[in-house]
Structure 1
Amino acid sequence: MATLRGRWVLSILLVHVQTPLAATGPPAPPSDLECFKPCDEKSCSADIHCIWGPEPDPQRNTSYSLHWEPTNSEQGYVTSLNNSAVIYREHFLNHGQLRVWVEAQNKHGSAKSEGKEFNTADIIKPPPPIIALKPQEPLVIEWHSFCAELDLSMETCEVQYWVKGNQVWLKHEDGYLHTYTLDNPLPCTVYEFHVRCACSIGLKSNWSTSHSLSAAKAPKGKLDIWMDCGLFPASFNCTLTWKMLPLSQACGVIVGYEVKLFYNNSTWILLNVSTAEPRDLLWCNETQCHLNHSLKNVSSVSASALNSHGATAPSHVAMPTPGKDEDVKTLNLKMNEANLTVTWDLPSKPLYKLKEYVVQYKQVGSPLGKGFDWVKVTNSQTTVFFEGQFNKYTPFQVSLFSISHSMTVRHLSSVIGYSHEGSTYLSWALFPCAKSERSSLLKLSCPFLNHFSVPSSPPSFQALSIGDTWVTLFWSAVPLSKQNGVIQYYQIGLGKENVNNVSASPKSQNETFKLKHLSPGQDYEVWIRAMNKAGPGANATTTFKTQQRENDDYLILKLLLLMFVVICLVLFCLTFLYVALNKMCPWVAYLFNEKVPDPRNSHIFRGMKHQINDPFALICIPIHEPLPNISVLEVVKILPDALRSTPKETSDQDEFTGPLGRDGISRMNGQDEQSKDAVTGEGGRTDRRYGREEYSKMVDSDEERDREKDKDDCWSSSEEDQFTSGYEKHFMPTALEVLEV
């Protein structure tokens, strides 16, 4: 049943039955019958062409028949369905009289025109003349007829002219051959002229094409200049363009243009471009002119139009710049093949600096000077209307600009529009064959769908980065010239089930999408296609393989092993540092503490005591101290009486049993007293030494204490001072210290 219903709908679409409205009454009689032999620039036709009026009424099924009656033959006729017919050469004599008339007939009756009689040799009709304008004062036009080419002599021509915009023609008498002069024309008034001529034999030609001409004067008004920047309105890769002045403002023929280019470094150049050949800098069509000169580093431009009597006031335009976010407007387009309507919203706050808006459209991919137009409107207007040729499935970029009173041009917004994008309803809903696979077989089974235009496939599609369960896909947007409509979104899929719709950004040239929930270590093939109103476009595919995920147990084992190694290294380092600091590194304290000499050299003796048993002892000896040589000192106790004897008595060698020093003097005298001092005063002295006092302070304090002691014990240290230096007194160990060690 679905197939029958589809065929029934298709039959309705394909079959068109014309049912004109029935009209009552007989047809109107034909009028204005004219027969002639048409000529071109070189020869004339041998057949007779006849035309009449009025135009056939499409609501009346009327048929026409052209009848002729020569004087020396039988009557003939030919039928026609419109208001013209041809009498071929074999039905009449070349130099004979012929009478013709037309009869119109329908089911309600018939009607005849008035007859017309002529000689078949006298109905030659030459082509219309060609007019050549002469930009001079007074206004002069010239033309060329084709009588000489037809081997005929020239007769007179008829000239008609009127003021443009006024429908009243001013007709002149015949008598003009090749030229006509209009005396006392109104300044800057546009006149329309056309001419028709007759040769020595035959009829007058048709009217020539009308031409416009105005009285010569300095042009008035200003040029409407703008920038053609292609699809990037805020770029500096632009071409200067302007609209040609209307004749009412040109006041004659424009012979050239004067253009000034102002650069960012405050310099400028002047270009004088001529409309005459060769046009190396200027290219013009019927309505616009384009300057073939680079605008790189140009900040603004001015241009004027020139004729033989002067120039217009200069028009200025600045290079466009990007607008601010709050200035961006939303453009609404309404397009068909004949016109374009653009609307936008006014800003919420009035812009006092805004002078006017500029709306332009640019056909994507069109060459210079084609598919481009613009219009300037006031700051209170929100609608612009364009007339032109907007082809189907062809993208047009419409842009909105603002111009301030300081002549600053700012680009506000742009949008892509199409005059026709296809119909998804007709292509996918009405026709059952469209519900099958959308492939090449679809076009074979449904050939009537070929006119629906879908977008092409994205030019580039690939995997940007790949994980174990995800992949980031990258693709280039379909070019505007191949979109055939606004791209609404892209479809990305794995097979036929997993399909994702991704919105399309109209301004982005590249897109990305992250596809998740994949399996590790698997091969995949992903496709992408663009969607517009006509439906999906062709697919683009890419293949990839996800990464292999590592075993979780194996990963945990590796982490534990790594942690164990790190812990072992930390413990080893801590142990080594402990041993170094406590046993083999006393010099560390020496490095970080204040370097005050140890009066007792106790560390040296302790080191020597253990240097045999401790292998680290050699390491712990400071580098700056050489290994000491330990000598055994014999301690001899001297009686106090001997100390009180005279120097002479004490000099007796029998009283001294101790060994002599290097200078031959015994150094064991007074050891008992020194031992006592060591016992009684060692506590305070060693405390000061271990408190790290300065050497100078210890010397002063020891000397004061010795003086006090000498006074109390009646002990004179003068003899000891003769043989012992201050350094030895404070830093050499005493006998008691040696015994303590």
Structure 2
Amino acid sequence: MALLTAGWLLLILLVNTPKDFAAAGPPDRDFQPKCYIPCEDNNCWELHIHCDWGHAFEPQVPVKYSLHWQTVHSDEGNVTTGASLNGVINRVHFFMNSKLRVWVQAESQQGSARSLEVVFNTGHIMKPARPKIVWSQQDPLEISWNSACNEPHLSLGSCDVRYCTEVDKTWIEEKIGANVNYEFYGEVQPAVFYEFQVRCSCATGLMSDWSASHRIKSLEAAPTGEMDVWEDCGVPATNIVCVITWKMLPISQAHGHILGYEWTLSKHGNDEFFNVSTAEPMGWLVCHEMQCYLNLSLKNVTSVNISAYNAQGSTEPSYLALPTTERTPKHAIDVTINTENLTVLWDLRSQRPDINSIKEYVVQYKQAGRHLGQGFDWMRVNKSHGTATFRGHFEKYTPYQVSLFKVTPNGQSQHFSSVIGYSHQGTPSKGPSFKISSIAATRVTLVWEPVPLAMQRGLILYYQIGIQGQMAVYNVTNSPQDTSETFELRDLNPDQEYEVWIKAVTEAGPGPEVMARFKTEQEEQLKSQRLILTLLLPVCFLIILGGILVSLSFCRGAGKVCVCLNERIPDAYNSGIFKLMKEQMDDRLVWIGNDICEPHPTISVLEVVAIKEPACGEYSDSEDLNTKPATKSKQRDGKDYSKRVDSDQEKGASELVNREDSWNSDEEDDVTLGYEKHFMPTTVEMLES
């Protein structure tokens, strides 16, 4: 156990030991001092020798340095500098124009080391002061400076000049010899700041340091090229509120200070001309960073021409046809966003576009929630390419709408596709706004508005819906359109309170819940509806019965009565009304939803066998037409019609069908239908008449 503990302690010691300390060794010998006599304030003869070696060992290892020198007379001297990387040899230790040998000694706990030696003539290490540029002009670009070798009474050795522009920060260096002036012979960019620096050496000395920078702005010229003009319609893109936006001209095109902008708005053949100064924009011109936009209504505007001008001229007018957001069938584009880059990929080869109808593509992005003209950028891409990359800072949890357009040679633009992308997704900060649209006894319909785009914090994949206290959760796919969505909850209990919740879900997880309460309809409401329908049944039955009675014709004669009957009589037992009533008693929903009145009742055929056909209209005053048929009907059947109808559910329709066939029998004891006997005379009665 003791050995294990000791091993662990040794391991911990090795892990925590500084790398530089563990790997430290003797100081490196590969360094060499550089010595010079600085000529400050035109005094070069009475100054000390400055040496520096600009070499440091491992910072965690303490090193002590000492500067050593030796004259031709073998006189040696040294000075300890400690941790400093430079030292000074005092003027009293050497003579001007004499040889001197110099080296540096380094010592540490791991050992010591001696640098390489440097031998020089003390009269040749004078370093003149930096030159000062005292004169310049713009056309042509020219500078001049003073000589730093006059005071030491030395001739000028040589000078170097270097320059760069504010557009290109790369220094370009030229050797010009023993001169104190320089003229620029290259192609001058108009209205651009040029920066110059000079350094010189004397005939027997070192090169001075570079002078301070001197800036010259070249003369202005008329701006060249065209402005990059586009349209910002916000998120989601609409043509109702749009602004014309453009990118400021780069220095290489502006050729001077832009004084203002001129534009022409075309409204169905009528042109309106505007001129706004950058010094007094009057609220029309709004510029932010490297973009500007026109704060002017574009209602009824069909096209725009814009140009920029300075004191020397103006650019060619830039044409933009409106609207640029014409909707066409969607084509997929792929968007990848991180905090530094936004990359767009597309492939329209499957659409087989006419290459001659395409001038270029325009890819744009818009940060949701930003004002028009802000958080917006676009890029023009060659028609042979299928990718574009924007560089910048793209915020997390922030939606960016990316769109692809095709631009035709005549300036018209056509929208291909738009998608929403995020550099990093989170959960929604707000739930959807929803409500109950309709309530029934067993179902309810929910309607909700999408979460505002600025609060989604990610692409919403679907919505989750559930009832408080129940395990069931419903996932409703998010519609890509920015429209309201609906969902119906079914199989609910009547006359019961419920609490329903909904929340939006992104790839990072669900957002907060939004709750709503409702109560389903009562069962009594359904009963009242059924009661109303029940009361309507007798009315329908009476209507049918009245139609039957109307079909009967009564013909009256002098001594006899002949009842002329319709050939077809409605058969109540075949009526679909009674069947429907039985089915509706079992299913209340069917009771409510179906029609209770039979439109076409079944008709029974009445066959009458005439032995002697009386003349219609003959009758006897002594005979009672209403007495005999009714009496015989009761004797033969034993029941009247109304009682037979009430016993329908007990006996069934099949018994009535069998009795209908007995009309053709001559036997007096055959069972006949009560319906017919109640209203019609028998065959014997008809013969007796």
TM-score, with normalisation over the residues of structure 2?
A: 0.55
Secondary structure, in 3 states, of the residue corresponding to 2:279?
Answer: coil
Hey, what does 1:314 align to over in structure 2?
317
Q: Residues of 1 paired with 2:212 and 2:233: CA distance?
A: 43
Aligned positions of 1:291-310 closer than 5 A: 291-310=294-313
Hey, what does 1:486 align to over in structure 2?
459
Aligned positions of 1:548-559 closer than 5 A: 548-550=522-524, 555-559=529-533
Q: 2:270 aligns with which of 244, 267, 272?
A: 267
The structure-2 alpha-carbon separation of the partners of 1:297 and 1:173, relative to structure 1 and needing over 3 Å to count, comes to: farther
The structure-2 alpha-carbon separation of the partners of 1:246 and 1:554, relative to structure 1 and needing over 3 Å to count, comes to: closer
On the 8 A contact 2:429/2:511 being kept in 1, the answer is yes
Q: 1:500 aligns with which of 474, 484, 488?
A: 474
Specify the code of the residue in structure 1 equivalent to 2:431.
P
Specify the code of the residue in structure 2 equivalent to 1:223.
M
Pair member with larger Rg: 1
For residue 290 of structure 1, report the CA deviation from its aligned partner.
2.2
Q: Does 1:419 align with 2:400?
A: no
For residue 387 of structure 1, report the CA deviation from its aligned partner.
0.8
The structure-2 alpha-carbon separation of the partners of 1:350 and 1:553, relative to structure 1 and needing over 3 Å to count, comes to: closer
Alpha-carbon displacement from aligned partner over 1:675-720 (angstroms, at most 9, x marks no partner) = xxxxxxxxxxxxxxxxxxxxxxxxxxxxxxxxxxxxxxxxxxxxxx
Specify the code of the residue in structure 2 equivalent to 1:478.
V
For residue 417 of structure 1, report the CA deviation from its aligned partner.
0.8
Q: Does 1:340 align with 2:313?
A: no
Q: Does 1:280 align with 2:254?
A: no
Alpha-carbon displacement from aligned partner over 1:47-85 (angstroms, at most 9, x marks no partner) = xxxx996899xxx7755779799xxxx977579xxxxx9
Secondary structure, in 3 states, of the residue corresponding to 1:298?
Answer: coil
Hey, what does 1:329 align to over in structure 2?
331
Hey, what does 1:525 align to over in structure 2?
499
Unaligned runs of 5+ in 2: 1-15, 36-51, 68-78, 87-103, 119-131, 144-159, 200-207, 557-689
The number of residues matched between the two structures is 464
Q: Residues of 2 paired with 1:297 and 1:572: CA distance?
A: 70
Secondary structure, in 3 states, of the residue corresponding to 2:359?
Answer: strand
Q: Residues of 1 paired with 2:190 and 2:236: CA distance?
A: 40
Hey, what does 2:485 align to over in structure 1?
511
Q: Residues of 1 paired with 2:239 and 2:507: CA distance?
A: 31
Q: Residues of 2 paired with 1:20 and 1:518: CA distance?
A: 75
Q: Residues of 1 paired with 2:105 and 2:361: CA distance?
A: 59
Q: Does 1:458 align with 2:460?
A: no
Alpha-carbon displacement from aligned partner over 1:345-384 (angstroms, at most 9, x marks no partner) = 1142222422221101111123455422111112222101
Q: Residues of 1 paired with 2:116 and 2:511: CA distance?
A: 61
Hey, what does 2:234 align to over in structure 1?
230
Q: Residues of 2 paired with 1:340 and 1:295: CA distance?
A: 30
The structure-2 alpha-carbon separation of the partners of 1:551 and 1:193, relative to structure 1 and needing over 3 Å to count, comes to: closer
The structure-2 alpha-carbon separation of the partners of 1:564 and 1:502, relative to structure 1 and needing over 3 Å to count, comes to: same
The structure-2 alpha-carbon separation of the partners of 1:278 and 1:493, relative to structure 1 and needing over 3 Å to count, comes to: same
Alpha-carbon displacement from aligned partner over 1:586-632 (angstroms, at most 9, x marks no partner) = xxxxxxxxxxxxxxxxxxxxxxxxxxxxxxxxxxxxxxxxxxxxxxx
For residue 553 of structure 1, report the CA deviation from its aligned partner.
6.8
**What percent of counterpart residues are identical?**
38
The structure-2 alpha-carbon separation of the partners of 1:265 and 1:563, relative to structure 1 and needing over 3 Å to count, comes to: same
Hey, what does 1:46 align to over in structure 2?
none
The structure-2 alpha-carbon separation of the partners of 1:227 and 1:325, relative to structure 1 and needing over 3 Å to count, comes to: closer
For residue 316 of structure 1, report the CA deviation from its aligned partner.
0.7
On the 8 A contact 1:139/1:214 being kept in 2, the answer is yes
Hey, what does 2:375 align to over in structure 1?
371
Alpha-carbon displacement from aligned partner over 1:203-245 (angstroms, at most 9, x marks no partner) = 989966x989555322221111111222133414222221222
Secondary structure, in 3 states, of the residue corresponding to 2:252?
Answer: helix
Q: Does 1:568 align with 2:569?
A: no
Aligned positions of 1:87-102 closer than 5 A: none
The structure-2 alpha-carbon separation of the partners of 1:231 and 1:553, relative to structure 1 and needing over 3 Å to count, comes to: closer
Alpha-carbon displacement from aligned partner over 1:2-50 (angstroms, at most 9, x marks no partner) = xxxxxxxxxxxxxx9999999898669789999xxxxxxxxxxxxxxxx
The structure-2 alpha-carbon separation of the partners of 1:344 and 1:54, relative to structure 1 and needing over 3 Å to count, comes to: farther
For residue 407 of structure 1, report the CA deviation from its aligned partner.
1.7
Q: Residues of 1 paired with 2:520 and 2:109: CA distance?
A: 81
Q: Residues of 2 paired with 1:175 and 1:292: CA distance?
A: 56
Alpha-carbon displacement from aligned partner over 1:173-200 (angstroms, at most 9, x marks no partner) = 9999xxx9976662546866346899xx
Q: Does 1:539 align with 2:504?
A: no
For residue 389 of structure 1, report the CA deviation from its aligned partner.
0.7
Secondary structure, in 3 states, of the residue corresponding to 2:239?
Answer: coil
Alpha-carbon displacement from aligned partner over 1:412-466 (angstroms, at most 9, x marks no partner) = 2111111122xxxxxxxxxxxxxxxxxxxxxxxxxxxxxxx32123252221222
Q: Does 1:357 align with 2:361?
A: yes
On the 8 A contact 2:400/2:422 being kept in 1, the answer is yes
The structure-2 alpha-carbon separation of the partners of 1:544 and 1:196, relative to structure 1 and needing over 3 Å to count, comes to: farther
The structure-2 alpha-carbon separation of the partners of 1:222 and 1:322, relative to structure 1 and needing over 3 Å to count, comes to: closer
Q: Residues of 1 paired with 2:245 and 2:164: CA distance?
A: 32
Hey, what does 1:695 align to over in structure 2?
none
On the 8 A contact 1:398/1:417 being kept in 2, the answer is yes
Hey, what does 1:469 align to over in structure 2?
442
Q: 1:245 aligns with which of 229, 234, 249?
A: 249
Q: Residues of 2 paired with 1:546 and 1:481: CA distance?
A: 35
On the 8 A contact 1:187/1:216 being kept in 2, the answer is no
On the 8 A contact 2:437/2:446 being kept in 1, the answer is yes
Specify the code of the residue in structure 2 equivalent to 1:260.
W
Q: Residues of 1 paired with 2:511 and 2:466: CA distance?
A: 14
Specify the code of the residue in structure 1 equivalent to 2:452.
P
Hey, what does 2:154 align to over in structure 1?
none
Q: Residues of 1 paired with 2:17 and 2:397: CA distance?
A: 30
Alpha-carbon displacement from aligned partner over 1:112-151 (angstroms, at most 9, x marks no partner) = 8999xxxxxxxxxxxxx9xxx99x755699xxxxxxxxxx
Secondary structure, in 3 states, of the residue corresponding to 1:169?
Answer: strand
For residue 523 of structure 1, report the CA deviation from its aligned partner.
1.0
CA-based RMSD of the aligned residues comes to 5.4
Alpha-carbon displacement from aligned partner over 1:544-588 (angstroms, at most 9, x marks no partner) = 111223477765453232121244367679989999xx9xxxxxx
Secondary structure, in 3 states, of the residue corresponding to 1:377?
Answer: strand
The structure-2 alpha-carbon separation of the partners of 1:76 and 1:32, relative to structure 1 and needing over 3 Å to count, comes to: closer
Alpha-carbon displacement from aligned partner over 1:254-307 (angstroms, at most 9, x marks no partner) = 323433232333212222222335663333344222223222222111111212
Specify the code of the residue in structure 2 equivalent to 1:400.
L
TM-score, with normalisation over the residues of structure 1?
A: 0.51
On the 8 A contact 2:164/2:195 being kept in 1, the answer is no
